[in-house]
Amino acid sequence: MFIRVCVCALRRQRALKPGQSPYRALLETLELTNTKLTLQLINDNNKVRLLLELYRLQGNMTRVKINELKPLKPRFEVPDVLINDPPTEPLSLLSQDENGVVLSLGADSQWLIVSAKPFRLDIMEGREVLLSLNSRGLLAFEHLRIRKDTAELVLNVVCPGWLFSPTGPSSISLDFSLPGVEHVYGIPEHADSLKLKTTDGGDPYRLFNLDVFQYELFNPMALYGAIPVMLSHSAQRTMGIFWLNAAETWVDISSNTGSSETPQTDVRWISESGIIDVFIMLGPTPTDVFSQYSSLTGTQAFPPLSALAYHQCRWNYNDQEDVAAVDQGFDEHDIPYDFIWLDIEHTDGKRYFTWDPHKFPQPKDMLQGLVDKRRKMVTIVDPHIKVDSSYKIHNEIRSKGFYVKNKDGGDYEGWCWPGNSGYPDFTNPEMRAWWASMFAYDQYEGSMENMYTWNDMNEPSVFNGPEVTMHKDALHGNWENRDLHNLYGLYVQMATAEGLIERSGGVERPFVLTRAFFAGSQRYGAVWTGDNTAEWEHLKISIPMCLSLGLVGVSFCGADVGGFFKSPSTELLVRWYQTGAYQPFFRAHAHLDTPRREPWLFGPENTALIREAVRQRYALLPYWYQLFYHAHHSGQPVMRPLWVEYPQDTATFSMDDQFLLGEDLLVHPVTEEGGRGVTAYLPGKGEVWFDVHTFQKHNGAQNLYIPVTISSIPVFQRGGSIIPRKARVRRSSSCMEHDPYTLFVALSPKRFAQGELYIDDGHTFNFDKQKQFIHRRLSFANKALSSRSVRSFFSLQIVYLGINYTEQKYKRSMQPNLWISHDWGARPSQSRMSFSTLKGFIPD
């Protein structure tokens, strides 16, 4: 019955015919203030009035809100996702008549036209329509109403919404038209191509956080997270639509691609409840859209440097001896790693914040053993709490009234890993504050500074619930789960991250991995693509899945290396390590029932291949770190599609088997079984690209066939760039802290080479609070390297970082594309850094 409710709302909305909008703008109700325009809309069929609010926001954005003028009760509006109340700029009224009004959006030749009958909004630049709202007449707003008599029970046959809500069905819908657009992206999470497909004649893309077992590929089905943000891109412009609604949501996409008409993509958003609250980000460049979205929901949390290194996980490492043996195995096989993970079996009977007293009797001894090697641990803390009167966590949550309630007012209970479980109401800020306090060292017994957290099952997962999740009539305070379902995982990660910050007195950066997420989750840590499978197609799909997340703010993403379910062939495992080493979150993970797959269990040759992939990751950690620094400051994605940097190159618009890291590294992993070659597209007319392994030069704007062996990882550095590396790879990233940097300089006939070097302590907030960091802009021209400070915030010792680069003497090496200086060193006593080598690729 529950599923019928969801399908019924969708069916009702999809049954509406374009071009028959009943909504009319009542221009006589228009009010214009310094911050917004308000205008009433009326549905001529039922005479219900809506309130339209229009805001011109700073940064070339427009906000559109539509709610009932006089709802029977408040409709849910999403809190805690926007980082502040977006600053507005004045709208100015240019003209008005009986047909509508014209408003200036401030920018040159940029207008907003409100048409009265039928109601429609058009955003224009000059004579060009950038975007239209309700141009197809699919605005629909099911108003709240009271069931007055038994006659209305007949509606149950058509609309089961009455069965669960005394105010009836409350779905909303609005359509958007994008002239000149053929490519749209985003709205994760879906295991699908980067470019979103049309949904004509099929199912819409669904956004509804669910615990999905062995998910299907190339399917618009809902998965673990939901970010209701879509980007459109053409050679002329990039724009974004942010639909701020946390209820179950569907997105229909249609396009006239292939016809003789001007290209156009039409998008329709449908949500089960709430209000229409949409942000239109007008770009015009991809970078502008990323900045606009991050100004609304925040940027990617800046992770500790160690979190960007390699993570070893499985369900489950059996006991302390097993952890020690795995740790020792990495040393014996000379493979670096930073984190080892413990899944649910480490707890005392699936009671989170506890340890199995037999398998993990001395957790601090185990953690100290990792500290001694400068390594760390992650333990799982899920948001379902075992109902057990002897369990302190349960007793406190129950006594404080912090559990989600059922429709009758009792504690909502469901079945999950511990058995019968309660679900904390993380929408309650008091509950979140209490949860955060449980991570204090004196509360989480056995925890130490080198232990971090994994939030799984936080959609939330309810094994005996509808679609393996919470009933929609469960109560979070005054709101039903149906109104805010997709927020739950964000709140769990938010509270956990705050707990890790608080336990250090606000000094240390947290690391928290979450499976469920929403818009704004990027502020709290990392996500992964969930329970994938050890199959080649799942390896391939990890690329567009991570690219989609990066486009909507979540740069810290990755997939389980090797696949969670089933067992990979040795070839697949090697190729997955090679791919994962170049994705932002790099973790191997496996199901309880799979054979062990530590990297040295597949023979010496495969061990060597995996070792090399992991070592490549560690060598590039300085570059990864500065990319995340930029993501944190500007919202730019770390892993990005080629069209982000080459927005006018139409050949890149549908590519999702290769990607860029920042703007300077291009990666085309080998993801075909038995692959003997790949064809990589090297973008940029007049650009040059260098194979980072052979230093061979290739021209841009070409498809390059690359023969590969099992050891190949095709990676190219853009000419005109400088990338920092560390050549001395040790057992963990922390062990490399004081090692020299090597700068790889790739020259270009078009420009002198430029790059950056960013350094801080790697784990505290001092980079932000105390402005303790080094950030240098590097330039190489006329065989001389120079640097300058990027920002004015730096300690005095940084002044001495800049040795006299222009006086360095270089010699031509025996390698035809390499410049090397072996005598370039600087180790200021306080900055703790040095440069031992400068390497450069030069054109022939």
Question: Among residues 61, 50, 49, 47, which one has the least CA distance to residue 105?
Answer: 61
CB 839 within 8 A of CB 820: yes
Question: Among residues 140, 142, 179, 188, which one has the least CA distance to residue 162?
Answer: 142
- Please tell me whether residue 598 adopts helix, strand or coil conformation: coil
Give every CB contact of residue 356 below 8 A, 6+ residues apart in sequence.
Answer: 319, 345, 346, 347, 348, 349
Strands 659-661 vs 100-104: parallel, antiparallel or unpaired: unpaired
Question: Among residues 339, 349, 180, which one has the least CA distance to residue 266?
Answer: 180
Question: Among residues 818, 820, 819, which one has the least CA distance to residue 695?
Answer: 818
CB 81 within 8 A of CB 519: yes
CB 678 within 8 A of CB 670: yes
Helix crossing, 488-503 with 429-437: angle to 10°? 40
| Sole residue written with tokens 């609604």 | 245
Residue 230's alpha-carbon distances to 227, 253, 267, 680, in angstroms, are: 9, 11, 10, 27
Chain centroid to CA 414: 29
Measure the CA–CA gap between 188 and 543, rounded to whole angstroms.
13
DSSP 203: P
- Please tell me whether residue 358 adopts helix, strand or coil conformation: coil
Q: Which two tokens stand for residue 428?
A: 């309650």
Compute the radius of gyration of the chain from its Cα atoms: 28
Burial status of residue 152 (CB atoms within 10 A of its CB: 0-12, 13-18, 19 or more): middle
Give every CB contact of residue 494 below 8 A, 6+ residues apart in sequence.
Answer: 80, 426, 432, 523, 524
Give every CB contact of residue 626 below 8 A, 6+ residues apart in sequence.
Answer: 724, 756, 757, 758
Measure the CA–CA gap between 754 and 506, rounded to whole angstroms.
35
* Residues catalogued as catalytic: 456, 531
Q: Which two tokens stand for residue 459?
A: 């959609």
At position 444, the amino acid (one-letter code) is: Y
Measure the CA–CA gap between 626 and 603, rounded to whole angstroms.
35
Phi (first) and psi of residue 183, to 5 degrees: -125, 125
Measure the CA–CA gap between 159 and 4, rounded to whole angstroms.
9
Give every CB contact of residue 145 below 8 A, 6+ residues apart in sequence.
Answer: 72, 167, 168
Q: Which two tokens stand for residue 45?
A: 């069929």
- Please tell me whether residue 221 adopts helix, strand or coil conformation: coil
CB 343 within 8 A of CB 350: no
At position 806, the amino acid (one-letter code) is: T
Measure the CA–CA gap between 255 and 246, rounded to whole angstroms.
26
Phi (first) and psi of residue 424, to 5 degrees: -60, 145
169 half-sphere exposure, CB direction, 13 A CA radius: 28
- The answer for 477, left when phi > 0, alpha when psi is -120 to 50, beta otherwise, is left
| Sole residue written with tokens 């185990």 | 366
Measure the CA–CA gap between 289 and 550, rounded to whole angstroms.
12
CB 67 within 8 A of CB 39: no
Query: Which H or E run includes 481?
Result: helix 481-484
